[in-house]
Structure 1
């Protein structure tokens, strides 16, 4: 079905695809595996991983906020069509991701293999941008990948947003036992903090999951919980009809109003990245909400 067949008529909702012409499109090879990466900005590197069903206009909006805060943002294309507005047909993307060999969507699968490639991308980004290290921001399906990426020494600022994997275990952390031990050792050795966000009534990222992260990471886990009532009540169709719960704190369920809890969360993430990557504190984006 074409995009024109899936337009949404909710008042005030912008259902356009994002052409993302302000991003460079690159093919990045890591250990012989090539993936497309959207890149923009200047300054220390931040790898922003997309959520299902892909690099949506809301993910690109977050990427621009990161870029405008003084970073080079790298957005790897892991699934879906880049820039596409998330219609309910994104369910098909989710189904393909769940059976892909790159991801471990269900309990017992251990660490997703794609995280090895993402750690390589962090090394490439650090070599290109310099600075004390790289930020890693995960979202939903990729939420926990930001934590796994700390197995790469270049990653010093992990942000875990509403991690949804494993889908069938609300208390799981999507890491095999060896990687759990290695992540805990890295966090303890280098004094890392892991920043995380969820809504209190999110059915995909529950309080059980945050409790599991705290057991693994101790005080290094800074899990912050927003009221579900603060979530955007009119997200794109994929989130309204498939996700069906407050979920995407700084993308689809963000309410772009000054002082709103989701905007405060966004600003906290930008400040966290700035502090860990040793750049000046960011100013509010000049055109919040614009593409």
Structure 2
């Protein structure tokens, strides 16, 4: 497979022209999904305020590691550089959206039903043992809820931030959580979690709640706050205001950095769970 260059991540928007944008209708609802690559499917769900150049960069790393990336457009302007004012407006709209129920604990966001259907479709289209998924920030917990879909084998929750009004809450119903826990035990699966120390949106209390709910099936990874990129885009500097986005805006793309190691752990997790026989080293390299 020919390695394609990583897009620059300066102040410019990302045209996403190395992805195929598909209009996918599931459960009567049509959403745009950016698709690229070959191999087992991995669903990459963007953080606030949408599919930014940093989110697209992560998807390209997944693609170059030998996977087919499905990147659904759930909010925001696709490819937009995350400016503070525009990003804050996207966040405000999402907070009142019935699709996300940003302030509801003990209940999954309704959009996760569509995402479970997407995982099933992606598995049908790509084959292999199953599908991986990573959610970030607003979508962080979605990969856990998607474990209700049998094809989902490799869930990653990055800085899960919902519900916004309960720092120790998990956005999934008790019945669904029990079903997921039973499946993790039955199939010997794990959930990877990532957050920064000092994150105001994904707190230590939230990770403690995940650990209490899932036991040793939840593998928590907490990075020191000083490992975060000190100069993220304006939305993350002025609206988020703390170390937050482990594999996107706050990732430092340099050898030896904890955030780059986290990226590599996630790629290896996908490869291991989806039984990908490939040399991950061939796709490593910064942008």
* TM-score (structure 2 length as normaliser): 0.95
Work out whether 1:232 is the aligned partner of 2:225: no
With 100-109 and 58-67 compared, the bigger mean Cα shift is at 100-109
Structure 1 residues 110 and 47 mapped into 2: Cα distance closer, same or farther (>3 Å)? same
CA 1:198–1:286 in 2, change beyond 3 Å: closer, same or farther?
closer
Give how far 1:284 is off.
Answer: 5.3
TM-score by length of 1: 0.93
> How big is each residue's C-alpha offset from its partner over 1:157-189, in whole Å with a ceiling of 9 and x where there is no partner?
000000000111110010112211111122112
- Indicate the residue corresponding to 1:9 in structure 2: none
Alignment-derived partner of residue 3 in structure 2: none
Equivalent position to 1:14, from 1, 7, 10: 10
Runs of at least 4 residues off by over 4 Å: none
TM-aligned CA distance change 1:69 to 1:127, over 3 Å: same
CA contact (8 A) 1:271 1:281 kept: no
Give the superposition deviation at 1:108.
Answer: 3.9
Residues of 1 paired with 2:145 and 2:281: CA distance? 29
Q: Is the contact between residue 13 and residue 234 of structure 1 (CA under 8 Å) also seen in structure 2?
A: no
Mapped to 2, the partners of 1:133 and 1:107 lie a distance apart of 30
Give yes or no for contact 2:105–2:166 (8 Å, CA) kept in 1.
no
Q: Does 1:98 align with 2:119?
A: no
Q: Which deviates more from structure 2 when the two are superposed, residues 173-182 or residues 118-127?
A: 173-182
Among 133, 141, 148, the alignment partner of 1:151 is: 148
Q: More displaced, 225-234 or 173-182?
A: 173-182
Pairing of 1:200-211 with structure 2 (within 5 A): 200-211=197-208
Q: Post-superposition shift, 1:281?
A: 4.3
Q: How does 1:23-42 map to 2 (within 5 A)?
A: 23-42=19-38
Contact 1:274 1:281 in 2 (8 A): no
Matched, 1:86 2:92: no
Aligned positions of 1:71-82 closer than 5 A: 71-82=67-78
Question: SS at the partner of 1:63?
Answer: helix
1:282 maps to 280
1:118 corresponds in structure 2 to 115
For 2:114 and 2:27, locate their aligned partners in 1 and report how far apart those are by CA, in whole Å.
8
CA RMSD of aligned residues (A): 1.3
Q: 1:285 offset after TM fit, Å?
A: 3.3
The residue that corresponds to 2:47 in the other structure is 51
| 8 Å contact from structure 1 (residues 104, 174) kept in 2 | no
Residue in structure 2 matched with residue 6 of structure 1 by the alignment: none
Offset at 1:69?
0.1
Secondary structure, counterpart of 2:55 in structure 1: helix
